[in-house]
Structure 1
Amino acid sequence: MSTNHDNVSLEGVHSQAIPFPKPVASKTSVQIGFIGLGNIGSLMAQNMARKGPIGEPNFPAIMVWNRTPSKAEKLVAMVGKEKARIAQDLEQVAQECDVVVINLANDDVVRTVYLRIQACLKQSPPTRNKIFVETSTIYPSLAAELDVMVSQCPLTRLITCPVIGSPIVAEKSELILVMSGEYRSKQEVSHLLVPAVGRKVIDLGGDVQKSLTFKLIGNSMILGNIEVIAEALTFAEKSGIGGHHVEHLIREYLPAPSMLSYTQKMRHANFDGKNGFSIDGGIKDATHIRRLTAHYNSPMPGIDVAHQNLLTARALHERHVKEGKTRWPTLDWSGIIAGTRVAAGLNGFDKTKDFGTLDEQ
């Protein structure tokens, strides 16, 4: 099996990207499985299938499962049957895989999947070590529940590993992996996922809730930036300056790839959430952030405003869906700008219906 890691220095990877020494090599190959193939999960699975861990040329085909079978079929068609195979159900992934990476949409779905995994492994207990890698963005206290479920099964461990990065970043294997949980499990998983899936691991210790708290802090920064850019674009149009100058300023002064991408989406009304981050996911994350800040008495008023604008944008989109007037079955969270535009007296999504504003293409 060819990989993209032929020229990578293992010592360099250890010292710069992974805070754990490489574990003693196992005599048997590690079987990796993926449950959940959304916009981020599918890219992680693709990269793992195509590249595999460093130093394992005979890495076995990954096993994948998704509630919508077509997504699993599409992935296998892209990487080849020798690199990925489809499980008949999620229980097969839980039983046959040594490391299971889970990436799902929300807390309720995550809890349901783990209840099925727990029932499966209690009925058929593992005979070798098994690690579940929870990469979904969920409320931190749920991780404690999942840890209890998993620990009731013999030889089974849970680590939380939310990922930071957009689909563009995930496609390039440049995600940041934030890990919490049992040391040896983090050690093993780190050396499987870097650099095939991510470029760096941040270790936040043994408490499985900490990495999820950190992920929500990270998402608050991203959401806060999107909100400010949405407000700036709207203000620039209303003041007659034009959003193109705001985009130029970001490109010259704040050239973060994700911020440029969101700016372009908002400027050109490209709110298709099919290959981005859905507004439902954004509202879920904003709700978690606000709940967490209330728990710690640490206000984030910018997120309160962003949450309101996300709700406004979703309400507008749902109305347009009912009226058959939308181009996007799923709205990207960059659609947040509809909230700022409506507040400024502009049309939420359609700039062609505005008068007296400027936004050169």
Structure 2
Amino acid sequence: MTSPLHMGWFGLGSMGLGMAMNLQRHLATQGGPPLHYSNRSLEKGQPLQEAGAVPEKDFASLVRQSDVLYTMISNDEVLLDLVDQALSTDVSLEGKIFVDTSTVHPDTSALAAQRLGERGAAFIASPVFGASRVAAAGKLIFAMAGPAAALQTVRPQVDVMGRAIIDLGEDVRKSSLLKITGNILVISFMEVISEAQVFAEVTGIGSQQLEEFIGNMFGPVLESYSHRITSGAYAPPLETPPGFAAALACKDMKHALSLAAEHHTRLPTVEIASSRLNAARDYAGENLDSAALYGIARQETGLPFWTANSRQGN
């Protein structure tokens, strides 16, 4: 009889905490070892600890304790730094599985896989589709690529965090590429809906009427994008974190635009969205949702950046 796997988690932002909670609850019901976790701000893991998970003081300690280690972090630099830390530990990495659920450049995933593979570890690139509420509900979509045996090993845990897995084979670049392609659609939908909502306001149609049409015509997903605008969630109160931070969306768009240029194509809608969202960050700070490009679209029409439902400034 094989010993149960020890699971680790690093990264407890708005996405990571919900995912880790679902994983810990699953492990508790199975009667196996609890989830071990770490984070730059360890106090963010208090709900996990209350659910039975075990905190580790740093990433190196987490690597020692884990057979399978999940990461959900903000950008490429953080992922490569964590890889460096793993490689610098005195513990053997042979047979360990690293699963990164973040959105990073395909080259970053390939480099992480190569460097960890040289030490006998497997790397799975597994970016996810869905916002923080979807993560908390365990309904994410996982785009996964990596060694087949490692994918088979982690699938039972992934199934409790998501509603679907898209298997992209062994080339870890493929899942990163799919995630970036998916985000081209997401940000483009947000750009177009923002433009339509501004048009609806200046012509007198009405934001709520347009949102009702979007829901009836295109379904709940696009209606939810519109609601991030009309509810004011594009510029939440300063003490409330955004659903999909503008800085992260800009990072993802930068990856998409660089890859498009590399392959001699253009993404005009993403170019506009990137310009507007970066302008929103310059104007209103970093506590903004990716939908904040709507605020700049309003300004370009002579309307204020803020609405009655958003916060009113910084």
- Is this a same-fold pair by TM over 0.5? yes
Who is 2:46 aligned against?
A: 73
TM-score (norm 2): 0.92
Which residue of the other structure, out of 190, 193, 199, is the alignment partner of 1:235? Answer: 199
Partner residue in 1 for 2:294:
337
Q: How far, CA to CA, are the matches of 2:252 and 2:134 in structure 1?
A: 19
Q: Tell me the amino acid that sits aligned with residue 264 of structure 1.
A: H
How far the C-alpha of 1:59 sits from its partner, in A, is: 2.2
- Asked if structure 2 preserves the Cα contact closer than 8 Å seen for 1:94 and 1:117, the reply is yes
Residue pair 2:242, 2:288 contacting (<8 A) in 1 also: no
Quick check: 2:125–2:144 contact (8 Å CA) kept in 1? yes
| Mapped partners of 1:275, 1:351: distance in 2 | 18
Equivalent position of 1:14 in the other structure: none
1:245 Cα deviation (Å)? 1.0
Once superposed, what is the RMSD of the aligned Cα atoms? Answer: 1.7
Distance in 2 (alpha carbons) for counterparts of 1:47 and 1:124: 28
Quote the residue 1:269 is aligned against: 232
- Show the 5 A alignment for 1:288-307: 288-307=255-274
Alignment partner of 1:147 is 2:113: yes
**Following the alignment from structure 1 to structure 2, what is the Cα–Cα distance between the partners of residues 241 and 226?**
19
Residue 223 (structure 1) aligns with: 187
The one-letter code of the counterpart of 1:34 is W
Q: CA deviation at 1:350?
A: 3.4
Distance 1:238 1:315 in 2: 25
- Between the aligned partners of 1:298 and 1:202, the Cα distance in structure 2 is 26
Counterparts of 1:132-281 in structure 2, within 5 Å, are 132-154=98-120, 156-194=121-159, 196-257=160-221, 259-270=222-233, 271-272=235-236, 274-281=241-248
- The residue that corresponds to 2:67 in the other structure is 98
- Between stretches 220-229 and 342-351, larger displacement belongs to 342-351
C-alpha distance in structure 2 between counterparts of 1:212 and 1:349, whole Å: 34
Aligned match of 1:348: 305
Structure 2 CA distance, aligned partners of 1:161 and 1:57?
A: 24
CA distance, structure 1, for counterparts of residue 167 and residue 82 of structure 2: 25
Matched, 1:130 2:96: yes
What residue identity is the alignment partner of 1:33? G
CA contact (8 A) 2:27 2:35 kept: no
For structure 2, the 5+ residue unaligned runs are 310-314
Where in structure 1 do 4 or more consecutive aligned residues deviate above 3 Å? Answer: none
1:42 has 2:17 as partner: yes
Distance 1:251 1:148 in 2: 45
What does 1:9-20 correspond to in 2, within 5 Å?
Answer: none
AA matched with 2:293: I
CA-CA distance at 1:351 after TM superposition: 4.9
Which has more radius of gyration?
Answer: 1
Residue type of the alignment partner of 1:250 = I
Aligned to 1:359: none
Instruction: Give matches, 1:319-334, under 5 Å.
Output: 330-334=287-291
Task: Return the alpha-carbon distance in structure 2 between the equivalents of residues 250 and 131 of structure 1.
Answer: 42
State the distance in 2 between where 1:299 and 1:351 align.
36
The unaligned stretches of length 5 or more in structure 1 are 1-25, 319-328, 353-361
Percent of aligned pairs sharing the same letter: 29
> Following the alignment from structure 1 to structure 2, what is the Cα–Cα distance between the partners of residues 248 and 133?
39
CA separation of 1:58/1:351 partners in 2, compared to 1, >3 Å: closer, same or farther? closer
- Work out the number of aligned pairs and report it: 305
Contact 2:27–2:34 (Cα < 8 Å) also in 1:
no
Aligned mates of 1:349, 1:110 — CA distance in 2: 35
Amino acid at match of 2:141: I
Structure 2: distance between partners of 1:307 and 1:201? 29
Letter in 2 for 1:317: A
- Shift of residue 152, structure 1, vs aligned partner: 2.3
Q: Which residue pairs with 1:282 in the alignment? A: 249
Pick from 10, 18, 27: which aligns with 1:52?
A: 27
The 8 Å contact of residues 24 and 48 in structure 2, kept in 1 or not, is answered as: no
Determine the C-alpha separation between the residues in 2 that align with 1:184 and 1:111. 24
Relative to structure 1, the CA distance from residue 36 to residue 275 in structure 2 (aligned partners, 3 Å threshold; closer, same or farther) is same
Whole-Å separation in 1 of the counterparts to 2:220 and 2:263: 30
CA contact 1:163–1:176 (8 Å) conserved in 2: yes
1:298 Cα offset (Å): 2.8
Q: Which 10-residue stretch deviates more, 163-172 or 62-71?
A: 163-172
| Partner Cα distance (1:187, 1:330) in 2 | 38
**Aligned counterparts of 2:296 and 2:255: Cα–Cα separation in 1:** 20
In structure 2, the residue matched to 1:10 is none
